[in-house]
Chain A
Amino acid sequence: GPDPLITEVQPWATGFGDGVDATPYGLPIKYEADVVRRNVGWLTADVISSINFTPIHALEGTITPQGCAFERHHSGAIEMRKEDYRLMIHGLVDRPLVFTYEDLERFPRVNQTYFLECAANSGMEWAGAQLNGVQFTQGMIHNMEYTGVTLRTLLEEAGVQTAGKWVYVEGADASSNGRSIPIEKALDDCLIAFKANGEALRKEHGYPVRLCVPGWEGNMWVKWLRRIEVMEGPVESREETSKYTDTLEDGTSRKWTWVMDAKSVITSPSPQMPIKHGNGPLVITGLAWSGRGAITKVDVSLDGGKNWKEARLANPGQPMALTRFYLDINWQGEEMLLQARATDDTGYVQPTKDQLRAIRGENSVYHNNAIQTWWVKSNGEAENVEVS
């Protein structure tokens, strides 16, 4: 029969909605309340030093809203006023300098969109399929348009001496998170950002100023950046020795594994996004990215990697930024083993889990960029599985 939503006058077509002053800074409508960051309680000892996950299953396009972009803190998200912000450059420089927030706003500015992926993204999947949802398996990632000053600009302002081969960057919070970055990368594309997606950085993303290290692991993107020391060698801080190092099968460990390899994942359908509409047209979509450059191609398999079809990129891949891909199919209720496989502009092709394990074993913890498999059943539900 006729749809009462059409034939009957609905309340929203008769009365008023909210006035323009109801929410001076808007929030998502209440019907989208499930699109939120989620924490996995057993993962860490305390929420103060922990991580949560971006709801990438429920997002579209490529820009991650700050309010649901995953957080990683080592000593909690601090509150610092812009007026109290200081950035120091010292060490092997001609002019050790201190900048205020206002000083930073007077340097020439750039806008760049970059993904930030935690090195531990998918880390729980090394030993087998564990978490049933793309938010948990690949959700330690976000992608924002940053506004700021290049690190090169500030280093040139201070005058880097020839002996300066590394910079040590440090945050202002109690964790004193600090990482060593080779001078070549520091002078290449690192960005001192004070805006993301057009607005001030959110507290949890390092307000008022964070570092962007495009394509490299998220831990290096120091939040609440307060200090840049130009040095002869690396500090070998806790976060670059005891953590963020990758242990191989024979017990030796790789260090300075900064680059995030090419990776992709289907965000829908997926365990949190089952097919509910029955047979017929189905949009398969997902995200791809590479720390080495731009995504040039994404292939999708419906049969666990036996055969592949080239997906459609929503837009040409941009260096070190998320790329959205689509494969539009006519689904007739058949079971599928869905996979995506990214290729970047260096020719790197995303490997399978078995390929990675053959080289690294299962104890790496970090840098798992393996192909992910979703088993989509005939009822449309999906599960995180591994295949031969």
Chain B
Amino acid sequence: EPFGLGRAALPEEIAAWNLDVSPDGTGLPPGSGSVADGEELFSDRCAVCHGEFAEGVDNWPKLAGGMDTLNRKDPLKTVGSYWPYLSTVWDYAHRSMPFGNAQTLSADETYAIVAYIIYSNDLVDDDFVLSNENFLEVEMPNADGFIVDDRETVEYPEFSKPACMENCKESVEITAHATVLDVTPNDPNDDAPAAEAPATDAPAEEAAAPAAEAATEVAAAAPAEVDPALVAAGETVFKKCKACHKIGEGAKHATGPSLNGVVGRKAGGADGFKYSPAMIAAGEGGMVWDHETIGAYLKDPKGFVPKNKMSFAGLKKDDDVAAVLAYIEATGQ
């Protein structure tokens, strides 16, 4: 009766792809990782988007916090406050993370990172070591917070009554207008947001983001003096930029242009990067990226170059601006 098509899947082929982990722990490989090791790994591999304390950078997912917010307006859904199974965290980190570099974490590294994430949610102590042995002992706060879809019994009877066709209500008043919020992109070919902020729940991930765009191409001009401490501080601050901007040897354009050689270049001048019309116009108007212009731009991207597409709110502290500048100059040759 079978068509006899296909061939037998070999055990090693099944093992290579069959990586999913179920709530009862099926699929977990032997291994372990500590909160301490996880903290270091998380800082290196995850903090760019998720923050040093799993608190989330900009609109990348927040992994910690939000306890007891699920019944409030705009609940904060994190691993601690929402996820019902620890297996999901391990499985997702191991198969799908880090973003843009998936399937590079070893089993032990994954245990360590998951240990750190649950530590960040105050679910375990700082000396905790997570392993396949004790995996099921971790209690997830929202484990009992889910019910199976009950629309068939709760909603269907209500929504399958005969529809009213005439004089269905006394009066009709407009109670809300979309134009009040004005978050609609207005120009079909303009990918810049029409307004600053998201209003409520975004569908899939969370909401807005750091996108970025800045400068240009190589110009050399090595800084006369380099303050290693300032450069190091800048490297930390640069994590806010890193999701979109690459810098250093071989850095390519990403969401934002490569920052190699940005100092001394015309605005909107990096070859091969698609800038907003606003940024191109700024460059054509004679704007060149130097200490002053980069500094002003970093403090208030939207104010300094209106309608450019870098959706980064800006660095509030002058010290952070100076540090990032030092780091860009030192690294982006």
Contact = CB atoms under 8 A, between A and B. Distances in A.
A13 to B, nearest CB: 31
B6 A98 contact: yes
B172 A304 contact: yes
B225 interface: no
B272 interface: no
A373 to B, nearest CB: 8
Contacts of B159: 261, 348-351, 355
B248 interface: no
A165 interface: no
A112 to B, nearest CB: 21
Interface in B119-150: 145-150
Contacts of A46: 99, 209, 211, 243-244, 255
Interface stretch (B35-43, B179-187, B300-308, B324-332): B179-187
B84 A387 contact: no
Contacts of A129: 176-178, 181
Contacts of B205: 43-45, 49-50
Nearest to B203: A120
Given A233-B22, A258-B149, A72 B204 contact: yes
A41 interface: yes
Interface in B157-173: 158-169, 171-173
A310 to B, nearest CB: 8
A174 B96 contact: yes
A174 B172 contact: no
Most B C-beta atoms less than 10 A away, residue of A43, A50, A96, A254 = A43
Contact of A355 (B158, B166, B169, B203): B158
Interface stretch (A3-11, A18-26, A245-253): A245-253
Interface in A40-70: 40-51
Nearest to A76: B100
Given A129-B177, A388-B175, A255 B146 contact: yes
A254 B185 contact: no
B204 A157 contact: no
B315 interface: no
Contacts of B52: none
A359 interface: yes
A49 B204 contact: yes
A261 B160 CA distance: 12
Given A130-B178, A250-B71, A385-B174, A341 B191 contact: no
Contact of B311 (A41, A74, A131): A41
A380 interface: no
A233 B154 CA distance: 25
A209 interface: no
Q: Sort chain A's interface into a size bin.
A: 35 or more
A347 B201 CA distance: 31
A189 interface: no
B193 A383 contact: no
A365 B59 CA distance: 16
Given A46-B209, A241-B88, A247-B75, A253 B147 contact: yes
Interface in B1-34: 1-3, 5-9, 13-14, 17-24
B77 A98 contact: no
Interface in A119-138: 119-121, 123-124, 126-133, 136
A350 B5 CA distance: 45
A98 B193 CA distance: 45
A246 to B, nearest CB: 8
A119 B149 CA distance: 14
A226 interface: yes
Given A41-B211, A96-B8, A229-B18, A308 B178 contact: no
A54 B72 CA distance: 32
Contacts of B228: none
B149 A254 contact: yes
Kindly name the residue among A44, A177, A299 whose own CB sees the greatest number of chain B CB atoms within 10 A: A44
B45 interface: no
A83 interface: no
Interface in B50-99: 58-61, 70-71, 73-75, 77, 79, 82-85, 87-88, 91-92, 95-96, 99
Best-surrounded residue of B19, B71, B148, B193 (most CB of chain A within 10 A): B71
B168 A341 contact: no
A187 B181 CA distance: 46
Interface string B190-227: 01110111111111111111110000000000000000
A241 B83 contact: yes
B8 A42 contact: no
Contacts of B250: none
A170 B102 CA distance: 15
A238 B92 contact: yes
A257 B261 CA distance: 50
Contacts of B100: 48, 75, 174
Nearest to A342: B163
B155 interface: yes
B73 A124 contact: no
Interface in A345-368: 346-351, 355, 359, 362-363, 365-366
B160 A349 contact: yes
A159 B3 CA distance: 12
Interface in A229-243: 229, 231, 233-238, 241-243
A349 B99 CA distance: 41
Contacts of A91: 18
A119 to B, nearest CB: 8
B293 interface: no
Given A50-B204, A303-B172, A383 B177 contact: yes
B49 interface: yes
Given A124-B201, A254-B149, A348-B160, A236 B168 contact: no
A177 B151 CA distance: 26
21 contacts: A43-B207, A44-B59, A46-B211, A48-B99, A174-B96, A175-B96, A237-B92, A238-B88, A238-B96, A247-B75, A254-B149, A255-B149, A256-B149, A261-B155, A308-B168, A346-B156, A348-B159, A349-B159, A363-B73, A385-B175, A387-B174
Given A88-B9, A124-B203, A238-B92, 4 more contacts: A75-B96, A177-B96, A363-B201, A387-B174
What are the 9 closest A-B residue pairs judged by CB atoms, nearest first?
A120-B203, A251-B71, A304-B172, A251-B70, A384-B178, A45-B209, A42-B208, A96-B9, A386-B176
